A and B are shown apart, each in its own frame.
Chain A
């Protein structure tokens, strides 16, 4: 008989059955992908960004494919927190998985309204999106300035009933400084990376591929950047780190765990294979078996230790 493999991890006191989560914005609120994956198998579902009132997002085209990746400029379209609480939370609570709500806003007050509305809801964690490159005000304005990030983290922490994860932008000079700012503001965890700001030009039409001109780059093209930033951030702070950026399979997930992430989010890969999240859970178990490991937590940040034993 195979020895039992422990797949559970913990983020700010919240136990996840495994470290595989969805990445905000790629998975809706789970309903559509629930037809393709057994949501019970996932460590957590991270919802699309939720704002205080409905947001219409950006005009189309919102999507452009690039080499090994894609740009999106959806602009955080969402039905608003009230509809989310009435419709999407009850849907997710049918499943035995953790619910992490991504919170977005244009002003501090916007963010506060959402976290206060969620206080009484059966939500496990909040991920505060201060890193979306596709909305003009708010969002990334808080995520590219360490002082602003520390301050909004403090505001969120003061009002949130659930532990908060600050989602960091890679569009900064020093990711370690941003991670420390989040920690100084009282964050319970950090997640990274959000998308990298990019642009694509259609050389035949001689126009921008996206109506918004710029968009967020995601997919395997950004994975090495993401792994490096997760490694740096996990060394900069003493907080749980959730890693993401181009994860397509279980080996990619392991790479992030080794770099220092205690959990991972799978985003763009859902578009290439709607069943991919569940396949990564299964692949991670297979990886553990292959290397005779009994606890997935032994992978977290283990790359340094393996260097020393070389």
Chain B
């Protein structure tokens, strides 16, 4: 009899609001944190029966058996999670999906590009790479997690909102910051909203820089069965036999050359 996987009931160690709608949640896990790679995600299950579907949240950081998630409250489901306090528990499934290929790029000059709520998954990548890595973080107006990144690597950051005041910030988006600072890269890891990823895809392909992007889509099962979260693929997928890929199972991290954005 094979060992079957299950959800874990995880204890909340700490929850902090780190931005207007952004929360940092540390969970005590049995196996999830120690098995998680940067770029992978977990499914969080709420207790309110009116909401059936779990919420996919990227791994932000791990420390032994402790798992950190940073997420934005965008609706009732994430709002429910934001009310969790230390000592309470939460059902979690994971880690799920593909991660960034850390060992494959080690030693190469790696650029981490995070935009908005795409910033958290880059933190564990920074922590694991440690050397030859620069993080470029793009914010709309409010800065979060920047100091966490600074523990692991040099950070450049950009703010889109002209009115926002922040020392050393570049006005504009992630790619504006890359260009203005002349940041060089052998490899790019990126996560953020679709328009940002599209621009990075073009940027990387134009310069022949290998680039991995982490994608987001509405999910149901999270394990590759329901085909709810597909994206368009450049080539026919060997498993699905159509020009699609499953974000939850084949991704969320893809080579930028294998998906259509």
Contacts and interface: CB of A to CB of B under 8 A. Distances in A.
Decide if A and B are genuine partners.
yes
Interface of A: 25-28, 32-33, 35-38, 48, 54-57, 60-65, 67-70, 72, 74, 77, 79-80, 83, 219-220, 268-275
Contact of A272 (B5, B53, B218): B53
B52 interface: yes
Given A60-B230, A77-B240, A275-B6, A33 B52 contact: no
Interface string B133-149: 00000000000000000
B105 interface: no
B54 A271 contact: yes
Contacts of B86: none
**Chain A CB within 10 Å — which of B51, B226, B243 has the most?**
B226
B225 A32 contact: yes
Contacts of A220: 49, 52
The 8 closest A-B pairs by CB, nearest first: A79-B241, A28-B225, A63-B228, A32-B225, A54-B241, A63-B218, A56-B242, A271-B220
A60 B53 contact: no
B221 interface: yes
B200 interface: no
B124 to A, nearest CB: 24
A142 to B, nearest CB: 23
Contact of B242 (A35, A54, A64): A54
Nearest to A268: B52
Given A35-B4, A72-B228, A63 B220 contact: yes
Interface of B: 1, 4-7, 45, 49-54, 77, 93, 217-231, 239-244, 249
B175 to A, nearest CB: 25
Nearest to A73: B228
Contacts of B239: 79
B230 A77 contact: yes
A61 B217 contact: yes
A275 B219 CA distance: 18
Summarize A's interface: helix, strand, loop or mixed: loop
Contacts of B224: 28, 32
A27 B225 contact: yes
A32 B223 contact: yes
Contacts, number: 116
17 contacts: A27-B225, A54-B242, A56-B243, A57-B227, A60-B218, A62-B227, A63-B218, A65-B53, A68-B50, A70-B220, A77-B244, A268-B220, A271-B53, A272-B45, A272-B53, A272-B54, A273-B7
Contacts of A72: 220, 226, 228
Given A63-B220, A79-B241, A274-B5, 6 more contacts: A32-B249, A48-B227, A77-B242, A80-B241, A273-B45, A275-B7
A235 to B, nearest CB: 30
A64 B244 CA distance: 19
Contact of B226 (A28, A36, A64): A28
Contacts of B7: 273-275
Given A63-B229, A272-B54, A56 B244 contact: yes
Given A32-B221, A271-B220, A274-B223, A60 B231 contact: yes
Contacts of A62: 218, 227-230
A65 B52 contact: yes
B25 to A, nearest CB: 20
Contacts of B227: 28, 48, 57, 62, 74, 77
A33 B242 contact: no
- Choose among A67, A272, A275 the residue with the greatest number of B CB atoms under 10 Å from its CB: A272
Given A36-B4, A77-B244, A83-B241, A60 B229 contact: yes
B221 A57 contact: no
Contacts of B243: 56
B221 A26 contact: yes
Contacts of A77: 227, 230, 240, 242, 244
A64 B219 CA distance: 9
A134 B96 CA distance: 28
Contacts of B244: 56-57, 77
Contact of A271 (B5, B77, B226, B230): B226
B41 to A, nearest CB: 15
A26 to B, nearest CB: 6
Contacts of B249: 32
A72 B230 CA distance: 13
A70 B53 contact: yes
Nearest to A80: B241
A104 to B, nearest CB: 13
Contacts of A32: 221, 223-225, 249
A58 to B, nearest CB: 9
Contacts of A55: 242
Nearest to B91: A273
A38 B4 contact: yes
B49 A63 contact: no
Given A63-B228, A79-B239, A271 B221 contact: yes
A68 B242 contact: no
Contacts of A48: 227
A219 B221 contact: no
A275 B77 CA distance: 22
